Amino acid sequence: MLRLSPDGRSVAYMVRASGENDPQAGLWVTDFKNEPRQIFRGWVVWYARGPNREIYLLEGKPDLNGVLWKVGWDGRGLASIPMPVPLAHSYYVQPGQNDTNFFDVSPDGRHLALTTESVLEANIGMIENVR
């Protein structure tokens, strides 16, 4: 999935890890004129374009507590956001799998909208059976 920069001159994209400690895994930016630049290294679960020239991303961790980060399109200003985000299933999601850790950022960067864990009828039925 590509995200277009605010000025329309570059795109950001995720590279999923092929295995543990894959140096290529992370968030990359390219303007199609120069070599792509890695602006974040790690397990990127999801990312969204923020205000100005910022990208917000969710880094997956093995303990299923995601870490929110923001970084500039130029790779500068990398900073964590002090907000724990529990991951629904796994910190590592293969491309094409249904990942439920989507989010979006308000235009002013002050609000973050996260999806919640889905509840299926079968889950509710199992709860009733346990009682």
Q: What is the mean pLDDT of the chain?
A: 80
Domain boundaries, the chain: 2-130
Q: What is the pLDDT of residues 99-120, one digit of tens each?
A: 566 777 878 877 777 665 555 5
Work out whether the CA dihedral 7, 104, 21, 25 comes out positive or negative: negative
pLDDT above 50 for 88 = yes
Q: What is the pLDDT of residues 19-36, one digit of tens each?
A: 878 999 999 999 999 999
Q: How far is CA 118 from CA 48, 52, 63, 110, 123, in A?
A: 21, 32, 20, 25, 10
3 state DSSP class of 24: coil
